């Protein structure tokens, strides 16, 4: 009887410990808005249902200083983080992110080229595009050159408040071919040229800092056109708003999952990333926001009409610019400093 009771007690203790371990919350930080809403449907809720691990979703605007401070002081409270490619590369080099064990995530060959990195796994392929409200503009722009034409298209322009994507756009508006953008921007004369072009448009710019803002500005009429994340525009189109995307000169890249160095829940974080990398889950994500899946096996699961509206569609990507991650890892800090000083004038 005593042996039975002891065995029962040990079983109860083990169950309680297992339950406590499962009950540890996993903090996942993303860029918020429609992107986060799609992640909740495709990843957060299904992961909790499958594992019993509760996902606590937070948001930020890509500021790496906060991540660095947490890592440096060994007070990491974020477990999984959505990062853009230049920040992933720089953070990996600087030891801010854990190196990933792909034996616990999936086959690297299943991902589109560039998505499986040392410290991060691509979540989706996105594009920064030119967008406009077709109810406000009967004849719309067709290029970044038109974006600068305030005589033909009077009114405010929405632009992301940062050097990244803004300097590339300025050079394309000034006649630089998409394939040559980074070659030009890597020279002092090219940087000066981009800022000189921005000077021309500065009085007409309304800056945005969160992905949800461009569609809001376009719908309200605050701006006549804006740079924007394609998925945010697509979601607003689903709501019945007559917003249009110009794919010409769009800049495409990955957002990736990374684990901050010293995460208290590294094992659970790896489980989450593996779960979010499965094709059936990425399919749900792309059905809820128009970003391309990084797992190649997810594409055949999607409706062909939906695939045509993704950045990865051949007709959309052919006139686009692949964001040069190495360039922004090398030059990003100095260019952002110069941009901030310029914007503050």
What CATH number did the domain enclosing 217 receive? Answer: 3.40.190.10
Q: Is residue 3, in this structure, part of any structural domain at all?
A: no
CA angle 260, 289, 323 (to 5 degrees): 60
Whether the predicted pLDDT of 20 surpasses 80: no
| pLDDT tier at 11, thresholds 50, 70, 90 | very low
Whether the predicted pLDDT of 290 surpasses 70: yes
Same domain, 194 and 333: yes
Same domain, 71 and 174: no
Same domain, 212 and 328: yes
Lowest-confidence region among 23-27, 47-51, 232-236: 23-27
Cβ atoms of residues 18 and 265 within 8 Å? no
Q: Is residue 242, in this structure, part of any structural domain at all?
A: yes
Question: What is the arithmetic mean of pLDDT over 119-147?
Answer: 95
CA distance 189 to 252: 25
Cβ atoms of residues 236 and 243 within 8 Å? yes
pLDDT digits over 82-115, tens only?
A: 999 989 998 999 999 999 999 999 999 999 888 9
| pLDDT tier at 314, thresholds 50, 70, 90 | confident
Q: Is residue 110, in this structure, part of any structural domain at all?
A: yes
Same domain, 233 and 329: yes
CA distance 191 to 205: 19
Q: Is residue 17, in this structure, part of any structural domain at all?
A: no
Same domain, 87 and 159: no
Q: Is residue 13, in this structure, part of any structural domain at all?
A: no
Same domain, 108 and 69: yes
Same domain, 156 and 269: no
Instruction: Name the residue range of residue 58's domain.
Output: 22-125+254-310
Same domain, 203 and 285: no
Mean pLDDT (the chain) is 91
Same domain, 305 and 320: no
Q: What is the pLDDT of residue 308?
A: 85
Whether the predicted pLDDT of 24 surpasses 90: no
Q: Is residue 1, in this structure, part of any structural domain at all?
A: no
Q: Is residue 39, in this structure, part of any structural domain at all?
A: yes
| pLDDT tier at 1, thresholds 50, 70, 90 | low
Number of separate domains in the chain: 2
Residues 133-159: b if buried by 16+ CB within 10 A, e if exposed: beebeeebbeebebbbeeeebeebbbb
Q: What is the pLDDT of residue 113?
A: 81
Same domain, 221 and 182: yes
Whether the predicted pLDDT of 10 surpasses 50: no
Whether the predicted pLDDT of 18 surpasses 50: no
CA angle 262, 122, 129 (to 5 degrees): 125
Same domain, 184 and 244: yes
Q: Is residue 48, in this structure, part of any structural domain at all?
A: yes
pLDDT digits over 300-312, tens only?
A: 999 988 888 888 8
Same domain, 272 and 173: no
Q: Where are the beta strands (DSSP E) in the chain?
A: 26-30, 55-59, 80-84, 121-133, 157-160, 205-208, 225-229, 243-258, 292-293, 321-322
Whether the predicted pLDDT of 14 surpasses 60: no
Predicted TM-score (pTM) above 0.85: no
pLDDT digits over 36-57, tens only?
A: 999 999 999 999 999 999 999 9
CA distance 311 to 307: 9
């Amino acid at each position: 009887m005593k042996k039975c009771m002891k065995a029962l007690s040990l079983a109860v203790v083990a169950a309680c410990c297992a339950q406590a371990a499962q009950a540890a919350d996993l903090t996942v930080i993303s860029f918020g808005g429609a992107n986060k809403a799609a992640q909740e449907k495709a990843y957060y809720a299904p992961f909790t249902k499958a594992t019993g691990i509760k996902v606590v979703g937070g948001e930020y605007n890509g500021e790496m200083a906060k991540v660095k401070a947490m890592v440096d002081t060994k007070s990491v409270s974020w477990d999984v983080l959505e990062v853009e490619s230049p920040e992933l590369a720089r953070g990996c080099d600087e030891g801010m992110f854990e190196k990933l064990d792909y034996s616990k995530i999936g086959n690297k060959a299943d991902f589109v080229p560039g998505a499986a990195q040392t410290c991060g796994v691509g979540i989706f392929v996105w594009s920064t595009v030119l967008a406009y409200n077709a109810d406000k503009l009967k004849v719309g722009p067709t290029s970044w050159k038109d974006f600068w034409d305030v005589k033909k298209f009077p009114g405010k322009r929405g632009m992301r408040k940062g050097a990244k994507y803004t300097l590339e756009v300025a050079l394309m508006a000034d006649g630089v071919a998409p394939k040559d953008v980074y070659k030009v921007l890597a020279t002092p004369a090219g940087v000066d040229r981009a800022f000189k072009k921005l000077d021309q448009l500065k009085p007409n710019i309304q800056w945005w800092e969160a992905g949800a803002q461009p569609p809001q500005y376009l719908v309200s009429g605050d701006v006549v056109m804006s740079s924007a994340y394609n998925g945010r525009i697509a979601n607003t189109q689903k709501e019945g708003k007559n917003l249009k995307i110009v794919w010409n000169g769009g800049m495409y890249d990955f957002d990736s999952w990374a684990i901050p160095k010293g995460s208290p829940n590294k094992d659970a974080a790896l489980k989450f990333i593996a779960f979010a990398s499965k094709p059936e889950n990425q399919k749900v994500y792309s059905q809820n926001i128009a970003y391309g899946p990084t797992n190649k096996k997810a594409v055949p699961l999607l409706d062909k009409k939906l695939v045509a509206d993704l950045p990865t569609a051949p007709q959309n990507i052919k006139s686009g610019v692949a964001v040069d991650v190495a360039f922004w890892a090398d030059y990003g800090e100095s260019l952002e400093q110069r941009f901030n000083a310029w914007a503050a004038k």
